[in-house]
Structure 1
Amino acid sequence: MDRSPEASEALARAHEHALRWLASLPDRAVPPKAPVAQVAEALGTELPDGPTDPVEVIDLLAEAAEPGLTAMPSGRFFGFVIGGTHPAALAADWLTSAWDQNAGMRTVTPATTALDDIAEGWVLELLGLPADGAVGFVTGGTTANFTCLAAGRDAVLTRVGWDVATRGLAGSPGIRVLAGAETHGSVDLALRYLGLGAPELVPVDTQGRIDPAALREALESGDDRPAIVVLQAGNIHSGAFDPFAEAIAAAHDHGAWVHIDGAFGLFAGASPAFRHLVDGYESADSWATDAHKTLNVPYDCGLAIVRDPAALRAAMSMQGAYLIQDAAGDPFEKVPELSRRARAVAVWAVLRSLGRTGVAELAERLARHARAFADGIDGIDGAEVLNDVVFTQVCASFGDDDRTRDVVRRMLQDGTAWTTGSVWHDRAVLRISVSNWSTTETDVERTLEALRAAVVS
């Protein structure tokens, strides 16, 4: 059956709708206009008895969904540290869907494996991480933490003679996991998935940075179980980075595996201007980041980076007589999934488009916008920036908690920008996360104008 005419018509219509959506972003309100129930009603909740023309389906999808879409790709979306999508990465992701490759095996999908190999090398080079390390392209930051911590779990148990792959965790010596008191919830979630439970929380400073002396003291507590230490490149509220050299030295002195959760902050390592924030992080054993954040590729794409490729493969690989495996190693051996999207294609595309200097400039531009936000907020009567703005995060208070929450509410009602409410150090805050390549100085100023209006309303 020749599928090209039918596919061409549907893709052409999707292209029209996609361009219309992208063209609306500079001016549209950021919050959605319609709730779930309204979108569901427009889509139709009854499963049709018979076929529907694909073009008609695409038209219905685009028109019914549009009122319920949040302008997350807008340069004025500053919530949740989720970034946007760079044009090269977006176009590459369209090709990824059209190619429809199950990018798991080197022999079966050589094109996507070549892209995987190249993107892996470029990521390690840009971040200054061990060139012989391994990168698994997974579904997101949480899964990247899971994958790296799985490698760490298996490795530290192997060192004490326990093979978790065959024996499981029941009856094992157990594992201590230590993390800063402001570690991100995705780490807690990954540890739950791995059967390791909640981490032991180590004291942090006022910006959320782990105290290396307290970490060393905790490791010397007399608990002789194998240990994993989780550090952080980019606190979700302050943007602060742990003191890696001291903390990693303390952990390695006690034989611990060190993992760094760098969901948005890891790419500070690609910028000469911000490289100092991650000094010493190259000595860790694993690193996780979400490429949709600072690198701005489409969902879903996390990077699980492990110093020892053998440890990663030991935790993630499987065997099957029906698989066509290559002696050089296959991409599926570095990730939890066997069937997997070719996520490295978009990573390769954005790195090829930006180059070394472009990635650095992107990170620096995001941080520059965050600094502009902090300076603008400092000029608002009654406003206070609560964090040291070292990278891309800004947390502000506007008086008491009720007043701050009211400002957050008014900002969402206004719709000019999306800024998120949160609680940090037992205070209500408005949090601004600058993550999108398309954010401009005009976007920052428009958001500050809306914020000033929300404060005086």
Structure 2
Amino acid sequence: MDAREAALQRAYDHAVRWLASLSDRRVPARASVDEIVQALGAELPDGPSTPADVVELMATACEPGLTAFPSGRFYGFVVGGSEPAALAADWLVSAWDQNSVMRSVSPAHTAAEDIAGTWLLDVLGLPAGSAVGFTTGATMANFTCLAAGRDAVLRRAGWNVARDGLAGGPPVHVVVGEDRHMAIDLALRYLGLGEPELVKSDEQGRIEPEALRHALAVGGQRATMVILQAGDIHSGAFDPFAETITAAREADAWVHIDGAFGLWAATSPTYAHLTAGCARADSWATDAHKTLNVPYDCGLAIVRDASAVRAAMGLHGDYLIQDEHGDPIDKVPELSRRGRAFTVWAALRSLGRSGVADLVDRLCRHASSFATGIAGIDGATVLNDVVFTQVCAEFGNDERTEQVLTRLLDDGTAWISGSTWHGRRVMRISVSNWSTTDDDVARTLDAIRRAAAGA
């Protein structure tokens, strides 16, 4: 116990110092991979080291190579931060060390998962009784939902994929907007479904309903899946769910919504209109580590028909202690996993319904402030309609935009990554951290102005 307590205390001390440094430190890392390798030591020692010394070495050697992802001035990807209650809960998750896949083996985690799942359906406005599975992230959440959908549409076509596999079965027609996230293509590859049919999207990345209707009409009745989007990664735009889901229903298609960060708009009275109609879908994927701000490793796979996801994900083993009412293992692709529901429960319990809405509203307000500030910079143009948390801008041409991005990262005040959108090099700002303040936004805008002035 003495060695364990000493190691935990050392880790706590370094964690507190790290978190305290976020308000002032450079956001980009200060050291390279090679420098960190040298500091950590590339050779495996012949003998043991004390746990506290190992923690001390890791913390001091790695600190210069850490990017301040939890900083309120990191806008490079939609990664969120760690809300305080969720962060503390995650420490307990590691200490408790529960394998959280079976109801009778870890009643505590199953209770937290049952409650958190019910709360999630409530705040997201999704059908009560839907299955909620806790996955590694949005990619595996999409995979899980699409596996349930694939098997369901093939069953309707008279094919049992669980028994007979895909070879020789009816083809599955997958239709998705051309501005979908790349994780969708990856999930479809995992599922053996190949490349989807791409449907035209408008200038903001929203799938065009008439183009979707045409794609579904060509080729007659087939086993079909339609994938829609809540929150385009560049513009933040949402597909028109009312029209598109109606079209998909007419084709007897399974409808899935990739809402990795945007599905949380439903929690805010101000932004819920963006998700109007999406509750009519069959499945939804999102990421709790993004907009809800729990620590990493917490995707959410939500399927209206609980039996469909259990048919796709469920398994039986003679040595498993399975419950007649079903187990968490029935809703996810993993046989072992950490207690993800504890952190989601903690975040929701800490924020409450109004706190989640306030979090979403605050992130959107910061995005609007960025858009207003950038629009006032000479030569800068905001390219998207800022409807949620994403802002895309250019600075006259691709070359100057790239110069601004390079100078901004060299400055270190903030991390904002570049991207290519509609063939143009852009600055893409993703506001997703609970700790971002008005001052963080002001400091970042000052840094953007400096970068633009020198480019």
Relative to the length of structure 2, the TM-score reads 0.99
Q: Aligned-pair RMSD on alpha carbons?
A: 0.6
Q: Which runs of 5+ in 2 are unaligned?
A: none
1:401, distance to aligned residue in structure 2 (A): 0.4
**How far apart are the structure 1 equivalents of 2:428 and 2:219?**
40
CA contact (8 A) 2:227 2:256 kept: yes
What are the equivalent positions in structure 2 for 1:318-337 lying under 5 Å apart?
Answer: 318-337=315-334
**2:376: which partner in 1?**
379
Matched, 1:111 2:72: no
- Structure 2 letter corresponding to 1:18: A
**How far apart are the structure 1 equivalents of 2:430 and 2:64?**
24
1:229, distance to aligned residue in structure 2 (A): 0.3
1:7, distance to aligned residue in structure 2 (A): 1.3
What are the equivalent positions in structure 2 for 1:84-99 lying under 5 Å apart?
Answer: 84-99=81-96
Q: Deviations over 1:177-210 (max 9, x none)?
A: 0000100000000000000011100011110000
Matched, 1:146 2:135: no
The DSSP-based 3-state class of the residue aligned with 1:389 is coil
**How far apart are the structure 2 equivalents of 1:38 and 1:162?**
55
Counterpart of 1:346 (choices 343, 346, 355) is 343
Q: Which runs of 5+ in 1 are unaligned?
A: none
**How far apart are the structure 1 equivalents of 2:196 and 2:396?**
34
**How far apart are the structure 2 equivalents of 1:144 and 1:196?**
17
**How far apart are the structure 2 equivalents of 1:274 and 1:46?**
53
**How far apart are the structure 2 equivalents of 1:5 and 1:389?**
54
Matched, 1:282 2:284: no
Q: Deviations over 1:131-154 (max 9, x none)?
A: 010100000010000000000000
Matched, 1:60 2:74: no
Counterpart of 2:434 (choices 427, 433, 437) is 437
The DSSP-based 3-state class of the residue aligned with 1:135 is strand
**How far apart are the structure 1 equivalents of 2:354 and 2:370?**
24
**1:293: which partner in 2?**
290
The DSSP-based 3-state class of the residue aligned with 1:177 is strand
**1:22: which partner in 2?**
19
**How far apart are the structure 2 equivalents of 1:259 and 1:283?**
10
**How far apart are the structure 2 equivalents of 1:113 and 1:69?**
34
**How far apart are the structure 1 equivalents of 2:34 and 2:107?**
44
**How far apart are the structure 2 equivalents of 1:348 and 1:7?**
27
Matched, 1:412 2:409: yes
What are the equivalent positions in structure 2 for 1:111-260 lying under 5 Å apart?
Answer: 111-260=108-257
**How far apart are the structure 1 equivalents of 2:339 and 2:152?**
28
**How far apart are the structure 2 equivalents of 1:405 and 1:151?**
42
**How far apart are the structure 1 equivalents of 2:116 and 2:336?**
19
The DSSP-based 3-state class of the residue aligned with 1:276 is helix
- Structure 1 letter corresponding to 2:194: G
Matched, 1:12 2:18: no
- Structure 2 letter corresponding to 1:413: D
1:339, distance to aligned residue in structure 2 (A): 0.7
1:48, distance to aligned residue in structure 2 (A): 1.1
**How far apart are the structure 1 equivalents of 2:93 and 2:112?**
11
Relative to the length of structure 1, the TM-score reads 0.99
The DSSP-based 3-state class of the residue aligned with 1:76 is coil
Counterpart of 2:300 (choices 299, 303, 311) is 303
Q: Deviations over 1:362-419 (max 9, x none)?
A: 0000000000000000110100000000000000000010000110111100000000
**How far apart are the structure 1 equivalents of 2:74 and 2:30?**
15
**How far apart are the structure 2 equivalents of 1:203 and 1:390?**
21
**2:267: which partner in 1?**
270
1:174, distance to aligned residue in structure 2 (A): 1.1
**How far apart are the structure 2 equivalents of 1:276 and 1:172?**
40
- Structure 2 letter corresponding to 1:109: S
CA contact (8 A) 2:221 2:251 kept: no
**2:362: which partner in 1?**
365
- Structure 2 letter corresponding to 1:22: L
1:161, distance to aligned residue in structure 2 (A): 1.1
**How far apart are the structure 1 equivalents of 2:110 and 2:77?**
32
**How far apart are the structure 2 equivalents of 1:314 and 1:184?**
26
**How far apart are the structure 2 equivalents of 1:53 and 1:227?**
57
**1:100: which partner in 2?**
97
1:328, distance to aligned residue in structure 2 (A): 1.2
Q: Deviations over 1:191-242 (max 9, x none)?
A: 0000001110001111000011110111001243200000000000000000
- Structure 2 letter corresponding to 1:376: G
The DSSP-based 3-state class of the residue aligned with 1:305 is strand
**How far apart are the structure 2 equivalents of 1:308 and 1:8?**
46
What are the equivalent positions in structure 2 for 1:385-400 lying under 5 Å apart?
Answer: 385-400=382-397
Query: Which of structure 1's runs of 4+ aligned residues deviate more than 3 A?
Result: none
**How far apart are the structure 1 equivalents of 2:21 and 2:76?**
19
**1:45: which partner in 2?**
42
- Structure 2 letter corresponding to 1:92: A
The DSSP-based 3-state class of the residue aligned with 1:125 is helix
